[in-house]
Amino acid sequence: MAHENGKQTKHRFLTFEYLMNRHARVNSTPRSSISAPLIALYGGIAGEALWLASYPFDVVKSKMQSDGFGTEMRYGSMRACFRQVWREEGGARG
The pLDDT > 70 percentage for the chain reads 87
Residue type, 23: H
- Please give the Cα distance from 49 to 15 (Å, whole number): 8
Q: pTM value?
A: 0.65
- Please give the Cα distance from 76 to 50 (Å, whole number): 27
Give the pLDDT band of residue 81 (cuts 50, 70, 90): very high
Neighbours of 94 (CB within 10 A): 3
Give the pLDDT band of residue 91 (cuts 50, 70, 90): low
Indicate the burial class of 59 (C-beta count within 10 angstroms; 0-12, 13-18, 19 or more). Answer: middle
